[in-house]
Chains A and B, each alone.
Chain A
Amino acid sequence: MSRPPLDLLFNPQGIVVAGASTHPGKFGFVALHNVLAGGFDGPVFATNPDQPSILGVEALASVADIPEGAADLVFVCTPPHTCSEILRSAASRGVGAAFIASGGFREAGSEGARAEEELVQLARSLGMVVAGPNGQGLISNPAKLAAQIVAPIPPPGPIAVASQSGNLVSAFMNYAAQSGVGVSRAVSAGNAAMLGVVDYLGWFAGDPHTKAMAAYVEGVEDGPAFAADIKRVAAAKPVVLVKGGTTPRGAQAAASHTGALATDDRIFDGMVRQSGAVRAQTIEEAYDAVAAFATQPLPAGPRTVVLSSAGGWGVIAADALSKSKLELIPLPADLKEAIDGLVPPRWSRSNPIDLAGGESRDTIPEVIGLVADHPEVEAVIYLGMGIQANTASHLRSGPYFEAAELARICEYHERQDSRFAHAAADASARTGKPILAATELGITQPDNAGPATLAAQGSYCFPSADRAVRALHHLWWYARWRKRLLG
């Protein structure tokens, strides 16, 4: 009974690190270290013909020395000329998948390219699937597998990453570690000899641990095939794409104006939109978007209300909204009336809702609920969380904390911000509407009760109002694409 080849990569029963090293500066050491540090459940083997053991793992002379059927995945860190022998030995013990981290293949010139082709042919003839070569590795948190030659090991979560650049996999994972919205699977495609970014996305689309995907691509050889694959994936789950290597091209200028305008980037952009993937310009924007997809429901429409306990942020959010296809709706009269009943009359009485400091203990949770429940509202941006806990932090570290008996008020402030975070999540869960909370305190003061509570409940704290708006815009764009696709 054979399992789909990518299952062997991401959910192996056992793993062999081929070319494990005792030298902490070598990939062969770091790879084994990471597998062990990640707490992989299954058996871990290592090969090194010159050492008795490495990091407490008995070093075998060859991959052929592992017990038959004990491992599905071999992680290869040895020089290119050794790889084919390793694949043969691995196949002889029932290993069905290899991740080849070793460099020196296609990226190194024509000889390397030939070696890479031979390796692919060999893998096919052995019935093996090969990831890489020249890749940094993979993360599979549901399997507690960190088979990679780089850091970090991100927290488990709903985001899957596939990238043509290994360092950008790390970048996504660093954001995940910082924000707490974690990663299910992540993989660096390396030279993508046998498996490209789209192949991984296709597997993620059926992975129950993945809610949303981020991908980085450079070259796309066959545009229509790429578009068809992406469309299939996007129909299942949201995909956020970043494309690097944007170069202008106008080779057909002589033949037609259309040809002159047909830069790769413009056509790629149209193709991505047609296929339902969300395109982000930067890794930062892509992480914001994929975290939004992974943690928020899709909006039914563009009708947005901004709720702020502090004026300026609301204005910035409104500006960002006005430049997007989202709608800053006029505040419905009944909603206005309801809020009138809760706060003094100096509040903005329009969208953005600026409470102007008129709130008392229960106002913010109540207003969040009122806004989210209103049938004309389809999405909410909530700003100003963490202000009270920030004050508390300042009081706690100040000279009068003991003398002025400030503990009680500090605890009250912190409790309040924690309540606000819960209120946003509860209202979103109750109504099925996205409620995006944004504050820079998520970065500048991550242990602030507001952002910390968001993180603890699995929500993403957007680092600014405008970034929240941009992410919401991606949510709405994708929701609209899906509606149209599914009719």
Chain B
Amino acid sequence: MFGVGVLSEFESKQLLARHGVAVSRDKLANSADEAVAAAVEIGGPVAVKLCGSSLAHKSERGLVRLGLDNSSAVRSAADELLAAAVEDDGEVALLVSEMVAGYREFIAGVVHTEQFDAALMLGLGGVLAEAVGEAVFRLLPVSEADCKDMIEDLDIPALMAPLRGEPAVDQGALVDSLLGLAHAGGGEGVEAIDVNPLVIRDGLPVAVDALVVTTGS
């Protein structure tokens, strides 16, 4: 799309983190060795993804490896992913991320439209987010009360309550994430933001994947 660029997942999450959105623990690696070192530092099972500013739809291309729990698995995933990069992907690196476990996945984002200017979204997330289409919006700027209303409007109280051994969603933390996201999305040069999934771990939202679309390339 002319005049529109994207930030890599790593840059996108850094931007969100600066605005107070909790993001997964991530490390950027330029080689399989670095990826293994990063995985050791993060500890526990990790995800390794190919990361670059021309890689908007990684999972569709199979550029995501999940639940890698030993160094050889990390190394072979890293080798495969680097080998899978094509010329159009431009400059790429490996993103090593902690695995964030939680049954509940939301999608959140900001979008600009000609008719409404900027709007904040919260919806049911994961790979089926668009198919399910359960999402609510508010125009920016949003208040704390607006964010609380969004959670209520989503109207799935069972999803907010304790679920399958997981505690209830900390709604204050979810509101904070939404406010942070709104703040990031209202910033100069930001056209759209996707956070999907926003996983609920121990009741707290964590941005596991994110994409910032910028107005300039």
How far is A3 from B17 in the complex, measured between Cα atoms in Å? 55
Chain A CB within 8 A of B22 CB: no
A223 contacts B213, C-beta separation under 8 Å: no
A257 contacts B139, C-beta separation under 8 Å: no
**Which of the candidate stretches A100-108, A264-272, A327-335, A390-398 sits at the interface with the other chain?**
A264-272
**Which of the candidate stretches B61-69, B73-81, B90-98, B109-117 sits at the interface with the other chain?**
B109-117
Which chain A residues border B109 with CB–CB below 8 Å?
A: 256-258, 261
Which chain B residues border A261 with CB–CB below 8 Å?
A: 107, 109, 121, 123, 129-130, 133, 135
A255 contacts B149, C-beta separation under 8 Å: no
If A255-B4, A258-B110, A267-B139 touch, whether A273 touches B121 (CB-CB below 8 Å) is: no
How far is A255 from B136 in the complex, measured between Cα atoms in Å? 19
Which chain A residues border B150 with CB–CB below 8 Å?
A: 270
A258 contacts B115, C-beta separation under 8 Å: no
Partner of B137, one of A221, A260, A270, A484: A270
Partner of A254, one of B1, B110, B137, B149: B1
A270 contacts B196, C-beta separation under 8 Å: no
How far is A226 from B138 in the complex, measured between Cα atoms in Å? 14
B193 contacts A224, C-beta separation under 8 Å: no
B111 contacts A484, C-beta separation under 8 Å: no
Please indicate which of the listed interface residues A254, A257, A264 has the most CB atoms of chain B within 10 Å of its own CB: A257
If A255-B213, A257-B109, A258-B107 touch, whether A220 touches B130 (CB-CB below 8 Å) is: no
Smallest CB gap from B118: residue in A? A224
If A257-B109, A266-B135 touch, whether A223 touches B117 (CB-CB below 8 Å) is: yes
B167-209 contact mask (Cβ, 8 Å, vs A): 1 or 0: 0000000000000000000000001111010000000000000
How far is A484 from B1 in the complex, measured between Cα atoms in Å? 42
B138 contacts A274, C-beta separation under 8 Å: yes
A470-483 contact mask (Cβ, 8 Å, vs B): 1 or 0: 00000000000000
A274 contacts B146, C-beta separation under 8 Å: yes
Chain B CB within 8 A of A344 CB: no
Which chain B residues border A220 with CB–CB below 8 Å?
A: 115
A257 contacts B119, C-beta separation under 8 Å: no
Chain B CB within 8 A of A343 CB: no
B113 contacts A267, C-beta separation under 8 Å: yes
How far is A269 from B192 in the complex, measured between Cα atoms in Å? 20
Partner of B136, one of A221, A227, A270, A484: A270
If A223-B115, A261-B123, A270-B119 touch, whether A256 touches B139 (CB-CB below 8 Å) is: no
Which chain B residues border A260 with CB–CB below 8 Å?
A: 130
If A221-B115, A223-B116 touch, whether A257 touches B107 (CB-CB below 8 Å) is: yes
Smallest CB gap from A251: residue in B? B113
Partner of A262, one of B4, B111, B213: B111
Chain A CB within 8 A of B158 CB: no
Residue pairs across A and B with CB atoms within 8 Å: the count is 96
How far is A171 from B142 in the complex, measured between Cα atoms in Å? 36
Which chain A residues border B191 with CB–CB below 8 Å?
A: 255
Chain A CB within 8 A of B145 CB: yes
For residue A175, give the distance in angstroms from its CB to the closest CB of chain B.
28
How far is A391 from B164 in the complex, measured between Cα atoms in Å? 55
Which chain A residues border B193 with CB–CB below 8 Å?
A: 256, 258
A258 contacts B121, C-beta separation under 8 Å: yes
How far is A273 from B142 in the complex, measured between Cα atoms in Å? 12
How far is A271 from B123 in the complex, measured between Cα atoms in Å? 16
Q: How many residues of A contact B (CB 8 A)?
A: 27
Which chain A residues border B166 with CB–CB below 8 Å?
A: none
Which chain A residues border B82 with CB–CB below 8 Å?
A: none
Interface residues on B, range: 35 or more
B115 contacts A484, C-beta separation under 8 Å: no
For residue A5, give the distance in angstroms from its CB to the closest CB of chain B.
28
Chain A CB within 8 A of B211 CB: yes
Q: Which of A261-318 contact B (CB under 8 A)?
A: 261-262, 264, 266-271, 273-274
B116 contacts A271, C-beta separation under 8 Å: yes
How far is A258 from B135 in the complex, measured between Cα atoms in Å? 9
B194 contacts A267, C-beta separation under 8 Å: no
Please indicate which of the listed interface residues B107, B139, B196 has the most CB atoms of chain A within 10 Å of its own CB: B139
Which chain A residues border B117 with CB–CB below 8 Å?
A: 223-224
Q: Which of B5-24 contact A (CB under 8 A)?
A: none
B138 contacts A270, C-beta separation under 8 Å: yes
Which chain B residues border A266 with CB–CB below 8 Å?
A: 135-137
For residue A226, give the distance in angstroms from its CB to the closest CB of chain B.
9
For residue A13, give the distance in angstroms from its CB to the closest CB of chain B.
40
Chain A CB within 8 A of B89 CB: no
Q: Which of A96-137 contact B (CB under 8 A)?
A: none
A227 contacts B139, C-beta separation under 8 Å: yes
B111 contacts A258, C-beta separation under 8 Å: yes
Which chain A residues border B123 with CB–CB below 8 Å?
A: 261
B115 contacts A264, C-beta separation under 8 Å: yes
How far is A256 from B209 in the complex, measured between Cα atoms in Å? 13
Which chain A residues border B194 with CB–CB below 8 Å?
A: 256-258
A252 contacts B111, C-beta separation under 8 Å: yes
How far is A196 from B1 in the complex, measured between Cα atoms in Å? 35
How far is A82 from B136 in the complex, measured between Cα atoms in Å? 48
How far is A364 from B150 in the complex, measured between Cα atoms in Å? 41
For residue B178, give the distance in angstroms from its CB to the closest CB of chain A.
12
Which chain A residues border B138 with CB–CB below 8 Å?
A: 270-271, 273-274
Which chain B residues border A227 with CB–CB below 8 Å?
A: 139
Q: Which of A432-487 contact B (CB under 8 A)?
A: 484
How far is A41 from B41 in the complex, measured between Cα atoms in Å? 86
How far is A274 from B150 in the complex, measured between Cα atoms in Å? 10
How far is A267 from B140 in the complex, measured between Cα atoms in Å? 11
How far is A262 from B191 in the complex, measured between Cα atoms in Å? 13
B119 contacts A267, C-beta separation under 8 Å: yes
Which chain B residues border A79 with CB–CB below 8 Å?
A: none
How far is A267 from B138 in the complex, measured between Cα atoms in Å? 7
19 contacts between A and B (CB under 8 A): A224-B117, A255-B1, A256-B109, A256-B111, A256-B192, A257-B130, A257-B194, A258-B194, A261-B107, A261-B129, A262-B119, A264-B113, A270-B138, A270-B139, A271-B137, A273-B138, A273-B149, A274-B139, A274-B149
Question: What 13 additional pairs, Cβ within 8 angstroms, besides A257-B107, A258-B194, A274-B146?
Answer: A220-B115, A222-B115, A254-B1, A257-B196, A258-B121, A261-B133, A262-B113, A266-B136, A267-B116, A269-B137, A271-B119, A271-B138, A273-B138
Residue ranges of B at the interface with A (Cβ–Cβ < 8 Å): 1, 4, 107-111, 113, 115-117, 119, 121, 123, 129-130, 133, 135-139, 142, 145-146, 149-150, 153, 191-194, 196, 211, 213
